[in-house]
Structure 1
Amino acid sequence: MAQKEQKDFHHPYKPYDIQVQFMTELYNTIEDGKIGIFESPTGTGKSLSLICGALTWLRENKAKQLNEELNDDEIDPDEPEWVRQFAREDKKKKLLAERIEMEKRLEKIREKERRDKERAERAHDFPRKRQKTGASTDLDDDEEQFMLDDYESDEEGSKTRKRPRAGDMYEGLSETTLDLLRKTGVILSPDDDAKEDDLPDGTKIYYCSRTHSQLSQFVNELRRVKVPTGIPDDTDTLLAEEVKHLSLGSRKNLCINPAVNKLASTTSMNEKCLELQQSGTSAEKRCQFLPTKDEQHLYNDFRDHALATIKDIEDLAELGKSMKVCPYYASRQTIRPTEVITLPYQLLLQKSAREALGISLKNNVVIIDEAHNLMDTISALYSTTITLSQVQRAELQLKGYLHKFGKRLKGKNRVYIAQILKLLIGLREFLEKEKTTNPKSTTDTRIVPPTDITSYKGIDQVNLFKLLTYIHESKLARKIEGYISLKKAQKAAELQKSNTSRPPNTGKPGLEVPVLTHLTSFLLALTNPSSEGRIFCGAITDDAEIGFKYMLLDPAHHFHSIVSSARSVILAGGTMSPMEDYTTYLFPTLPPSKITTLSCGHVIPSTSLLARTLTTGPTSIPLEFTFEKRNDPAMITELGRGIFNLTAIIPGGIVVFFPSYSYLAQVLSVWEKPGADGSSLWTKLQKRKDLYTESAGSSSIEETLSAYTNSITSGRGAVLFSVVNGKMSEGINFNDDLGRCVVMVGLPFPNLHTAEWKAKLAHIEATARAQVLGAKKASSEFYENACMRAVNQSIGRAIRHRGDYACIVLADRRYNGARIRAKLPGWIREGVVTGEGKGEFAGLMGAASRFFAEKKKATAAGLI
């Protein structure tokens, strides 16, 4: 039988076998319209595999669709052949005209950019020369700006007031609630007043990741790939069709107006930007970067320059500055003809954000990279908190505002502000009562039914939907915050005059997130169906401040709008194992036949990984870091002896991961105690290698990593004591000598005794009972999977490329269990050597000695 010819994925290099497997499965998954969960370890070229597999499908699908349109013969078969031929040619010309014309325009821009680059000049000769207006970059000190405009309710002003769009203010509402509001006409969907564009709106790939730095890395890889055109081959029209790519971001990334981008918070920027666009805003205060109705062609100019070459988010911001066009709004106008769109998690995962940007996922491909924490990300996006101090501050600010402007406010403003004040007083009294009557409120949290909150002090008499609309449309939060900030600035100026020794107040008014904004987010959570999440009351902050916290429990509900719209959804990551949770809790309604899973091996040879479980230490003391046993000083000392012995044979850096910051501190306190010989384990370790410890705060991370790196490059070597789910366990590469050994201490199970985890597991059990599954088994599996995902993410920090090598030590006898080992990534699981008996630590030492001796010999011979 003839061997099946391998598809050409246009990879810029000769791909590894696992990359070919990855691209083939990806292509087939998209073609079949399935969900894909793909695991490919870091260093295996995952980004290029995603790009080449998806782009190859996209261009082939584009060409296929065009050919189908061209060959769709609707002409009367009774017509003469020459008439039919003329009709076919005319149809082809019309179908391709716009595409060909655009490619020619883009090629001219690319040619100009090439010439500019060759001359080493940064010349941007754009035709637009707009006079810069005198828009103020500071808040006007006139108190009148904080006076509310007259307001009509939705019933009274229905003939003149435009209904709010879904992306404007309903950011925290559940999909159930949003759908209900759309059906009742309270809010508009993007399609209700969408404007048609002449350009074709073809199939797109939406690629998202956690940070803009990760997206920039993806964009750099995208520049390497050349794929055939999707325009049918024709001698008169054949052009080199470059990939049309667009980076989308928030105002924080793309705004170029100094009056807006100077503000500290995204909320402040959004409100200030919208304020500068209001119809009543004078020309001199209007944003000078927004084209007028007569200048809409400038958006088209921006679009062509944005698509001519592949640009990241910083390039788009610079392009906007050069063309004096707002890149935030101009990028929206560029979406339609784009093939690949990159954007951060939050802009894709929140339906309101997608609608605000004009993103449609219908029949398009969605790729979510770094998807190992996707469920937690969705939950975090739709969760919110409000503290007692924020409620108290909001109440005081509202009363102060009323004292100043209350007598001048008309009917509807007075009614709604009175309702807000009533609501704030009710929330404050509820929390104050909780603080005085519940002794655990300052140390723990408890679940509070929404009805307990809304029925307190008559809060349920307030129409929350109308109140939220009022807060949004009246800009009440920003006006109150602006007024209070102005009064603070004036008071500070008076104090400065009376006390010259006092340092001047350099702060600017109106830069903080308005406290009413926190209230709005919490009120939105109160409108969500109770089955989707839980509200907790008690100590919700790190410093044990009392307040309310809404936690989303069902990520599938919010993710469903993506799954149901897109042609195919791909979840990809370096460590996706165990995968069962994604299929169970993100795609609960999909049959297994609609889901493809793939766990790739590593590109390194098996001889480049030494993976061992460790159940006993050097003196045969068992290692089992369960919650009940992990405080045993003898076991903690045994762990220290083991690490001390390993430092003698492992070169470069060793990274040791602990379950929590508190346990790391406890372990170090034991190691720092002097032993029988008067010397502590910590002191002995310091004589072998430099020692560094990850702290809970993020400020010292860069300094710690820099010092750790310097110790290794100097030849001294170092040990870094880190924490699972901390700053070092994700996003940082311990490649080569930075991580020749990774030690995982115990299994980092989440704290089962917190109200949040109790609620999560109770929700899992309730879901399992509804699906006639084993409730306790389901919750136990979910709990264990959460632990192992954290383990896999941490130990995956070590080997980062084909030439890398490392030793992985799983220090806990529970890793010997088949069920736990089965949840490790395949490339690690297959290499794990389990030990038994008293000589296990000796076995690890012997294996590690041979492993690193062989690598030293291979390095000296130039084989590594």
Structure 2
Amino acid sequence: MAPKDFHHPFQPYDIQQHFMEAMYDCIDRGEVGIFESPTGTGKSLSLICSSLTWLREHRRKVFDEALAAVTLDDDDPAWMAEHALDSRRREMRRMREDFEARLGAVRERESKLKERHALGVPLRKKRRVTPDDEPSPADEEQYILDDYDDSKDGKIPVNGQMSSYSTETTKLMTDLGMLQQKRDDNSLDFSEDLKVLFCSRTHSQLSQFVGELQRVSLPPGMPPEPEMNEEVSEPLKHLTLGSRKNLCINPKVSKLGSLTAINERCMELQQTNVAVEHRCPFLPRKANEQSVLDFRDHTLAKVRDIEEMAQVGTRLGVCPYYASRTVIESAEMVTLPYPLLLQKTAREALGISLRGHIVIIDEAHNLMNAIEGIYSTQISEVQLNLARESLLVYLQNFRNFLKGNNRVYVTQVVRVIDSLLLFVTRVLLTNTTGGTVEAEQLLSGKGVDQIDLAKLVRYISESKLARKVEGYASHVTQLQKIPTRNTKKTQSEHDVPTLTHIQTFLMTLMNPSKEGRFFWSREGDTCILRYMLLDPAVHFQDIVHEARAVILAGGTMSPMDDYRHQLFPYLPSLVTFSCGHLIPPSNLLIRTVASDQAGPLDFSYKFRSSAMIMRIGQALLDLAPMVQGGLVVFLPSYSSLELVASCWRKEALLALLEGTKQVFLDSRSEPAEATFKAYSQAVSTNCKGAILLSVIGGKLSEGINFSDNLGRCVVVVGLPFPNLETPEWKAKMQYLEDKARKRGEAAGVASREHAENVCMRAVNQAVGRVIRHKDDWAGIVLMDERYAQKRIREKLPGWIRESFPTESSSHLRGVTEDAKRFFEGKARS
């Protein structure tokens, strides 16, 4: 039986064919699957070809079923029945052909524009945005709060998330038909507009994926005409979605830099109290409705990345952030970053339905962390004090303007902040460094139990209180020329008003769930309050239940048990697929160093003595001269790297390593790009190569490509277990144990498994840095006796696990001999 044709742009390798067949079957059966395909094995094209082949075939099936549904009278002669079917067939084809013809005309126009541009002819006059496009209110009037009516219908946060749209935006988009109306699930067949939603972590990863999409050519979603001798291809209808920060084309707004500032400024320019001439000139409205439709056709005419989307909007003079909503319904594949898919309110704001669609999440090894990060939050004592001071200054100046609800709610905000600060003051008087806390303890201040937090959070959002208070505080500071208070803010804290952080934290206090916990910790002289989500399954379950099929994919998904227990505990079965590598077995050396002449090697925290550190250094000194090119050494943490470097420097071992190769050290304070660039240059210019000491889970362990000579050998020293003694980890472990006990499992197994899985997932990411394509080769050395344990080794990716020889020495002497033969063999080949 011939293998299924997935319309791969190249001749697929066997492992790619098996991957595509397994994924096609998973989608066809409507299941959830975890697919692992190492870097260099063509994962992106396998995901694209399998999902879109299924989609196009499904659309053909729907076409045939639609024809079969045509009702005919049994008494009609055969020629009339055939004529009726033929008319229906031609009608359906004509609708599709008209749509394709319109997109074809757009492609032709763009091609001619490109030719004109190449000849130096300007494409179009740019719309001029002058300073007059911005309102210029009097100095302090802009900070006055508008009258607030809390009896009006407003959006209450759901699951700790606020809706992205203001009332004005919602009305605008509804008028233009840009918000999808709620469908009657019982009466509508979703298969007709079925699509693939592809999600990854960053826009740069999505742009790379779009580049792969542009390679693919697929047969049409309708059967060809009987008279056609061969099938023609049908261009893919693709849309990439992003935030205002990526898609805003108004220079007066996009220059603000931060996502929060851009969002708020955009919505301010839509307020009814802003004069029409001052509103954003690119905003879709009835007057430029044709431009919105042109944007839709231009977007669908070819596969574009996020930057090209912004260029189309600029050329047509229409906002691509809002106009892209009109494209969703007609797209076959939608690419979007993690937050836009994982947050239910973000999906609702975009008008994205998952019902019946295919969801693919790439780079999914970090998915559980991403979900926990989205629904977790924190606030510091410094931020609380800063917010309180700013509010009091604001109240003092605008007390005569604050009336009715504004006065009530601003006073309530101060009261809630006072309650949080009261708790902070109490715990800082104790000798403890941190622990868990109940929501009731954080809200025990005077009169706080009478406050409706849901209404208060809605007020902070709708009144623009955070931006007005912080804006006025900055205004006062500039007038008085007061030096900015050193609050040691991160960049993100500078971008987001402090009251917005407090608003986000209050959302978790509104309805704290059993799936999360509150914590406090002492950091120097200050205190941090945190809410941490402990169970990502509760926020991912909607996606699983709504979608037809969900695919989690990544280069390193092993070990997979955590996904089964923490993301899909309610599913009776789960499809898992781990494909091998394209490299031949002779291109990989994989060994464990469990001991040396002094005994077992154990780099756990308990045994991390100076003597053990020197033995690890000596082992590297034995291995380093044999490695041709770059040698990358990963340690469990930055603190362990600093300890090792200090010890080796003191005992002159670092100088001995420098004698074999130039040594570079990763640093938490230095930019990773500079370190990697210097290391790369040393590898390329020095025949001896170079050594890079780095950290598992650090800046150089993910997303960095150590292909070819940059990584001829990777050594992992120790196992990067998390610190299980922190309050957060204790709470997580206790939560897992409680769930396991309800399932009737033995005590201690679930928490141990999770800790080992987190550890080994980080190890697998690190070792995956060195084999990056089918012709690459490298050695992998795991330096710790714990790697010899069967339970630990089984958590390695399949392609690495299978490469372990059945019989090999785990003593340093035997490993160095094997490494010498491996590298000498590669030097001769």
Q: TM-score interval w.r.t. the shorter chain? A: over 0.9
Instruction: Please tell me whether the aligned partners of residues 200 and 336 of structure 1 are also in contact (alpha carbons under 8 angstroms).
Output: no
Match of 2:813 among 818, 842, 846: 842
Q: Residue deviations 1:611-645, cap 9 Å, x none?
A: 0000123x434211122112x21111111111112
Query: d(CA) in 2 for partners of 1:109 and 1:236?
Result: 28
Query: d(CA) in 1 for partners of 2:780 and 2:828?
Result: 21
Q: CA deviation at 1:133?
A: 5.8
CA change 1:366–1:123 in 2 (3 A) is farther
- 3-state SS of paired residue (1:408): coil
- 3-state SS of paired residue (2:118): coil
**1:326 corresponds to 2:319:** yes
Query: d(CA) in 1 for partners of 2:19 and 2:726?
Result: 40
- Pairing 1:282-297 to 2, within 5 Å after superposition: 282-297=275-290
**1:627 corresponds to 2:605:** yes
- Pairing 1:219-258 to 2, within 5 Å after superposition: 219-234=210-225, 240-258=233-251
Q: CA deviation at 1:307?
A: 1.0
**1:145 corresponds to 2:179:** no
Q: Residue deviations 1:163-190, cap 9 Å, x none?
A: 43x7xx5472499xxxxxxxxxxxxx97
Q: Which residue of 1 aligns with 2:175?
A: none
Match of 1:260 among 253, 256, 259: 253
Name the aligned partner's letter for residue 287 of structure 2: D
Name the aligned partner's letter for residue 198 of structure 2: Y
Query: d(CA) in 2 for partners of 1:195 and 1:331?
Result: 24
Greater Cα offset, 72-81 or 332-341:
72-81
Q: Which residue of 2 aligns with 1:103?
A: 100
Q: Which residue of 2 aligns with 1:525?
A: 508
Q: Which residue of 1 aligns with 2:170?
A: none
Q: Which residue of 2 aligns with 1:507?
A: none
Instruction: Please tell me whether the aligned partners of residues 434 and 727 of structure 2 are also in contact (alpha carbons under 8 angstroms).
Output: yes
Instruction: Please tell me whether the aligned partners of residues 31 and 57 of structure 1 are also in contact (alpha carbons under 8 angstroms).
Output: yes
Q: Which residue of 2 aligns with 1:485?
A: 474
Q: CA deviation at 1:434?
A: 1.5
**1:553 corresponds to 2:534:** yes
Q: CA deviation at 1:29?
A: 0.3
Instruction: Please tell me whether the aligned partners of residues 296 and 323 of structure 2 are also in contact (alpha carbons under 8 angstroms).
Output: yes
Match of 2:615 among 638, 644, 658: 638
Instruction: Please tell me whether the aligned partners of residues 386 and 548 of structure 1 are also in contact (alpha carbons under 8 angstroms).
Output: yes
Greater Cα offset, 656-665 or 94-103:
94-103
**1:402 corresponds to 2:395:** yes
Q: Which residue of 2 aligns with 1:374?
A: 367
**1:571 corresponds to 2:552:** yes
Q: Which residue of 2 aligns with 1:581?
A: 562
CA change 1:87–1:163 in 2 (3 A) is farther
Instruction: Please tell me whether the aligned partners of residues 173 and 528 of structure 1 are also in contact (alpha carbons under 8 angstroms).
Output: no
Query: d(CA) in 2 for partners of 1:572 and 1:515?
Result: 37
Q: Which residue of 1 aligns with 2:753?
A: 781
CA change 1:768–1:456 in 2 (3 A) is farther
Query: d(CA) in 2 for partners of 1:263 and 1:757?
Result: 38
Q: Which residue of 1 aligns with 2:730?
A: 758
Name the aligned partner's letter for residue 760 of structure 2: M
Q: Which residue of 2 aligns with 1:825?
A: 797
Q: Which residue of 2 aligns with 1:184?
A: none
**1:456 corresponds to 2:445:** yes
Name the aligned partner's letter for residue 530 of structure 1: S
Structure 1: stretches of 5+ with no match in the other structure: 176-188, 497-509, 675-679, 859-864
Q: Which residue of 1 aligns with 2:74?
A: 77
**1:216 corresponds to 2:207:** yes
Query: d(CA) in 1 for partners of 2:558 and 2:126?
Result: 55
Name the aligned partner's letter for residue 578 of structure 2: S
CA change 1:611–1:544 in 2 (3 A) is farther
Q: CA deviation at 1:648?
A: 1.1
Instruction: Please tell me whether the aligned partners of residues 26 and 33 of structure 2 are also in contact (alpha carbons under 8 angstroms).
Output: yes
Query: d(CA) in 2 for partners of 1:203 and 1:330?
Result: 21
- 3-state SS of paired residue (2:477): helix
- Pairing 1:319-468 to 2, within 5 Å after superposition: 319-436=312-429, 438-440=430-432, 444-468=433-457
Q: Which residue of 1 aligns with 2:593?
A: 614
Q: Which residue of 2 aligns with 1:5?
A: 2
Query: d(CA) in 2 for partners of 1:235 and 1:297?
Result: 37
How many pairs are equivalent?
801
Query: d(CA) in 2 for partners of 1:599 and 1:856?
Result: 31
Instruction: Please tell me whether the aligned partners of residues 239 and 333 of structure 2 are also in contact (alpha carbons under 8 angstroms).
Output: yes
Query: d(CA) in 2 for partners of 1:473 and 1:93?
Result: 52
- 3-state SS of paired residue (1:8): coil
Q: Residue deviations 1:380-434, cap 9 Å, x none?
A: 1111011111111111111111112122222111111111111111111211222
Name the aligned partner's letter for residue 765 of structure 2: Q
The percentage of counterpart residues that share the same residue type is 48
Q: Tell me the TM-score normalised to structure 1 length.
A: 0.88
CA change 1:399–1:643 in 2 (3 A) is same
CA change 1:124–1:337 in 2 (3 A) is farther
Instruction: Please tell me whether the aligned partners of residues 174 and 558 of structure 1 are also in contact (alpha carbons under 8 angstroms).
Output: no
Query: d(CA) in 2 for partners of 1:195 and 1:362?
Result: 12
Match of 1:709 among 666, 680, 688: 680
Match of 1:48 among 45, 49, 62: 45
Q: Residue deviations 1:711-769, cap 9 Å, x none?
A: 00002411000001101111111111101110010111000111111111011011111
Query: d(CA) in 2 for partners of 1:795 and 1:615?
Result: 18
Instruction: Please tell me whether the aligned partners of residues 7 and 217 of structure 2 are also in contact (alpha carbons under 8 angstroms).
Output: yes
Query: d(CA) in 2 for partners of 1:686 and 1:364?
Result: 56
Instruction: Please tell me whether the aligned partners of residues 764 and 775 of structure 1 are also in contact (alpha carbons under 8 angstroms).
Output: no
Query: d(CA) in 1 for partners of 2:727 and 2:377?
Result: 16
Query: d(CA) in 2 for partners of 1:121 and 1:331?
Result: 28
- 3-state SS of paired residue (2:733): helix
**1:14 corresponds to 2:11:** yes
- 3-state SS of paired residue (2:570): coil
**1:474 corresponds to 2:463:** yes
Q: Which residue of 2 aligns with 1:314?
A: 307
Q: CA deviation at 1:88?
A: 2.9
Q: CA deviation at 1:66?
A: 1.6
Q: CA deviation at 1:263?
A: 1.7
Structure 2: stretches of 5+ with no match in the other structure: 164-177, 485-492
Query: d(CA) in 2 for partners of 1:171 and 1:779?
Result: 26
Q: CA deviation at 1:93?
A: 4.0
Query: d(CA) in 1 for partners of 2:191 and 2:364?
Result: 31
Instruction: Please tell me whether the aligned partners of residues 200 and 337 of structure 1 are also in contact (alpha carbons under 8 angstroms).
Output: no
- 3-state SS of paired residue (1:628): helix
Q: CA deviation at 1:485?
A: 1.9
Q: CA deviation at 1:62?
A: 1.2
Query: d(CA) in 1 for partners of 2:707 and 2:495?
Result: 40
Q: Which residue of 2 aligns with 1:180?
A: none
CA change 1:34–1:419 in 2 (3 A) is same
Instruction: Please tell me whether the aligned partners of residues 696 and 762 of structure 2 are also in contact (alpha carbons under 8 angstroms).
Output: yes
Q: Which residue of 2 aligns with 1:28?
A: 25
Name the aligned partner's letter for residue 663 of structure 1: S
Instruction: Please tell me whether the aligned partners of residues 614 and 835 of structure 1 are also in contact (alpha carbons under 8 angstroms).
Output: no
CA change 1:174–1:24 in 2 (3 A) is farther
- 3-state SS of paired residue (2:606): coil
Q: Which residue of 2 aligns with 1:172?
A: 160
Q: Residue deviations 1:649-676, cap 9 Å, x none?
A: 11110110001100111111111113xx
Instruction: Please tell me whether the aligned partners of residues 613 and 835 of structure 1 are also in contact (alpha carbons under 8 angstroms).
Output: no
Instruction: Please tell me whether the aligned partners of residues 707 and 776 of structure 2 are also in contact (alpha carbons under 8 angstroms).
Output: yes
Match of 1:727 among 688, 694, 699: 699
Q: Tell me the TM-score normalised to structure 2 length.
A: 0.92
Query: d(CA) in 2 for partners of 1:465 and 1:123?
Result: 57
Q: CA deviation at 1:149?
A: 1.3
- 3-state SS of paired residue (1:648): helix
